[in-house]
Amino acid sequence: MLSKDIGIDLGTANVLIYVKGKGIVLNEPSVVAIDKNSNKVLAVGEEARQMVGRTPGNIVAIRPLKDGVIADFDVTEAMLKYFINKLDLKGMFSKPRILICCPTNITSVEQKAIREAAEKSGGKKVYLEEEPKVAAIGAGMDIFQPSGNMVVDIGGGTTDVAVLSMGDIVTSESIKVAGDVFDNDILQYIKKEYKLLIGERTAESIKINIGTVFPDSRNESMEIRGRDMVTGLPRTITIHSSEIEKALHESVSLIVQSAKNVLEKTPPELSADIIDRGVIITGGGALLHGMDQLLIRELKVPVFIADNPMDCVAIGTGLMLDNIDRSPGSRI
């Protein structure tokens, strides 16, 4: 075998790359720093993320993916090229085959953009697969049996909810409410309640360290610093978990509603299987405190967080690559 197969979880927040035979070899933020004057790429991934909100005027840190799809084609291509070159698969091997994931409801134009970006960054043949299906496989679900499996994949840009059976999606819904929206909710809440401006990275840190979506389930506080909107000077405040639950309530209820919609459209035989097997949550949002408790309360079925929820899609691409020759091929 002369070419390496690689699977890419092209996420709004992070890019994970799985190389056949090696596992996950790369996990970096989907951020690119560019010099506006020369249009030159200065940094990609973690190095670029450190620059978010901290750069001089001529340098911008761009996140080229928005809501799970490509918002800036050239920057996405540059980012993919950088990551694939970093793996150093060329020379000894021919061009790799690439399996890449996308949300369930993207348009054919958006699919074409993802495919072209992967081809231009060095892929020989590019396969596209739907994210919740790959996440379910990565979470260890056997979706190829004639029984119902439900997955809620909460990423950075989108939340994909799907019921799977016989290796395919039976019912699904994708909404643009996920980690990025949670960060923005926290940012806006602090701006409104405390007249304090904070950055995206601070909002994300609050979400991870003291955030919760289930009332009264966490009682922690955290000191945060930002710029006072009245005086324009730096100021420190203390914020509590209960406030974050309040800030996230509206967005999280949209995810719950989406899960309910999918269950309502599910055939009764498969609904019965879901009561037995439960729902699996994957993606970074699965790590948000109280998400499983909230879904158990609202859906009235067992809910489990996948092992390594952030890696599920990348692991799933790897498992699908093993069977790529036997599968009927890409869906596009």
Structural domain contains residue 14: yes
Structural domain contains residue 300: yes
Structural domain contains residue 192: yes
Judge whether 12 is annotated as a binding position.
yes
| Domain CATH code at residue 209 | 3.90.640.10
Same domain, 22 and 105: yes
Same domain, 27 and 40: yes
| Domain CATH code at residue 93 | 3.30.420.40
C-alpha dist (Å) from residue 276 to 51, 137, 150, 263, 292: 47, 18, 11, 14, 16
- What's the pLDDT score for residue 330? 44
Same domain, 214 and 111: no
Same domain, 168 and 262: yes
Structural domain contains residue 329: no
The residue range of the domain holding 195 is 179-247
Give tens-digit pLDDT for 204-235. Answer: 999 999 999 999 999 999 999 999 999 999 99
Instruction: Determine the Cα–Cα distance for residues 301 and 150; give it in Å rounded to an integer.
Output: 11
Same domain, 50 and 63: yes
Half-sphere exposure of 286 toward its Cβ, with a 13 Å CA cutoff?
Answer: 23
Judge whether 206 is annotated as a binding position.
yes
Q: Which residues are CB-contacts of 73 (< 8 A; sequence separation ≥ 6)?
A: 64, 113, 116, 117
Give yes or no for residue 97 having a pLDDT over 90.
no
Same domain, 295 and 157: yes
Structural domain contains residue 235: yes
Judge whether 24 is annotated as a binding position.
no
Q: Which residues are CB-contacts of 67 (< 8 A; sequence separation ≥ 6)?
A: 12, 103, 157, 158, 176
Q: 269: exposed, middle or buried (C-beta count within 10 Å: 0-12, 13-18, 19+)?
A: exposed
- What's the pLDDT score for residue 219? 94
Looking at 247, 268, 286, the residue that finishes a domain is 247
| Angle at 61 (CA atoms; ends 180, 135), nearest 5 degrees | 40
Instruction: Determine the Cα–Cα distance for residues 29 and 151; give it in Å rounded to an integer.
Output: 24
Judge whether 211 is annotated as a binding position.
no
Structural domain contains residue 227: yes
Domain count, the chain: 3
Judge whether 224 is annotated as a binding position.
no
Q: Position of tokens 């509590």?
A: 240
Same domain, 263 and 283: yes
Give tens-digit pLDDT for 116-167. Answer: 888 888 788 889 999 999 999 999 999 999 999 999 999 999 999 999 999 9
Same domain, 114 and 173: no
Sign of CA dihedral 138, 140, 145, 151: negative
Judge whether 284 is annotated as a binding position.
yes
